[in-house]
Structure 1
Amino acid sequence: MRFKNARNYDEFAQAQNWAAKSLVSLIETFRGEFGSVYEIGCGSGLLTKVLLERLEIKHLSLNDLYESQIMNGFHSQIGDICQIEMPKGLDLVVSSSVFQW
């Protein structure tokens, strides 16, 4: 799905919102501060927004197959995660609904 065409995705993605919040809650039980975080398959930014609201992150890098608006202002990598090199020195690599897609 190309998220630039999915105008109401966030509004109707109830399962994805629940998954993002549950994942961040689980992460919070172990740690709340991270120097460098890499999100695989950020899409429209559902998980990204929860990460930024609930965790202290110094540097966030985002990846997706297609560029989305949430990627503006962050280090971003466009492309298939299986074919690109991830940044080095990461404290957390996270992904959520990318596995469903």
Structure 2
Amino acid sequence: MITINRPNKIRDCFNKASETYDTNCQVQLRIAKSLINQVKNYQLSFNKIFDLGCGTGISTKILAETLEYEYLHAVDFAERLLEIARVRLAAYGAIVVESDFDLLDYQTEAYDLIFSNMSFQWSLDLIALIKKIHSILLSDGILAFSIPLSGTFYELNLGHVNQLFTQDKILDILNEIGFTTIYHYSESITNVFDSVPLALHSIKSIGANCLPQSMNKTLCGKSITEKFFKKNEPPYTLTYQIGYFFLKK
């Protein structure tokens, strides 16, 4: 996973994608709906819900419309995404905070559901983050999250920079911290494109999501070339390897 300081350029990538994210996040939305349905099928009513990495609030809105709750908190570090989220979530009584979830003070609230859709890959220290989450969950509280796994975008020439965790490694971390796994599963989602620019635009339009940090320098800039793909003719595919984790404290 990412182990070096996250540059402001990552935040800039997400901010630049604020106007294109909602119309290009079909994969992320599909994953969110699946995760939220799993939560609903297990438990419908909660007191305090915390959404980490809420982005534009497009997934948070579905969460708010699906579950019953007293308090809904949401956090993200990209201010332009949060401008959209605050408007979108105003009718749901959500408290939306601009902050890096790695740096939040996690000692002030106790939640019975912490939710995150496709965000934890950006943590500087996933183990430390999950420990903090465990500490603020109530007894029997739920952690539900999705995350891209090792093998995501295998079609690209990422080489040694692909530092995403395997599903087994994440399960080991969760077990060591003290979570009880209710269920977990993984799936592959593949998108097909006629050209390299279309494929890589699909990444940029959602803030270069799911890529290791060291790839963002190029994908957020102007140097988008065919050298990134292992194949040199269409069709071009981008495959997400997604892990779903549903746990109890």
TM over 0.5: yes
Matched, 1:70 2:91: no
Q: Name the stretch that deviates more: 73-82 or 20-29.
A: 73-82
Matched, 1:85 2:105: yes
Q: Which residue matches 1:43?
A: 55
The CA distance in 2 between the partners of 1:82 and 1:27, in whole Å, is 24
> Does structure 1 retain, via aligned residues, the 8 Å contact 2:74–2:97?
yes
Matched, 1:58 2:70: yes
> Does structure 1 retain, via aligned residues, the 8 Å contact 2:58–2:85?
no
Q: Which residue matches 1:23?
A: 35
Letter in 2 for 1:48: T
TM-score by length of 2: 0.37
| Identity within the alignment, % | 28
User: Structure 1, unaligned stretches of length 5 or more?
Assistant: none
Q: The residue matched to 2:69 in structure 1 has which SS? A: strand
Structure 1 or 2, whichever has the larger Rg, is 2
User: Structure 2, unaligned stretches of length 5 or more?
Assistant: 1-13, 122-208, 210-249
CA shift for structure 1 position 75: 1.8
The CA distance in 1 between the partners of 2:57 and 2:25, in whole Å, is 11
Provide, for residues 10-29 of structure 1, a one-character-per-residue CA deviation record: whole Å limited to 9, x for no partner: 12111001011001011012
Q: RMSD over aligned Cα, in angstroms?
A: 1.8
Q: The residue matched to 1:70 in structure 2 has which SS? A: helix
Provide, for residues 49-70 of structure 1, a one-character-per-residue CA deviation record: whole Å limited to 9, x for no partner: 1101111121100100023121
Instruction: Report 1 or 2 for greater relative contact order, CA contacts < 8 Å, sequence distance ≥ 6.
Output: 1
The CA distance in 2 between the partners of 1:14 and 1:56, in whole Å, is 25
The CA distance in 1 between the partners of 2:97 and 2:61, in whole Å, is 18
TM-score by length of 1: 0.86
> Does structure 2 retain, via aligned residues, the 8 Å contact 1:20–1:46?
no
The CA distance in 2 between the partners of 1:96 and 1:11, in whole Å, is 17
Number of residue-to-residue matches in the alignment = 100
CA shift for structure 1 position 71: 2.9
> Does structure 2 retain, via aligned residues, the 8 Å contact 1:2–1:66?
yes
Q: The residue matched to 2:47 in structure 1 has which SS? A: strand
Provide, for residues 48-101 of structure 1, a one-character-per-residue CA deviation record: whole Å limited to 9, x for no partner: 011011111211001000231213543232221111113412110100021354
Matched, 1:33 2:45: yes
> Does structure 2 retain, via aligned residues, the 8 Å contact 1:62–1:71?
no
Provide, for residues 24-55 of structure 1, a one-character-per-residue CA deviation record: whole Å limited to 9, x for no partner: 01101210011100000000112101101111
Letter in 1 for 2:105: E
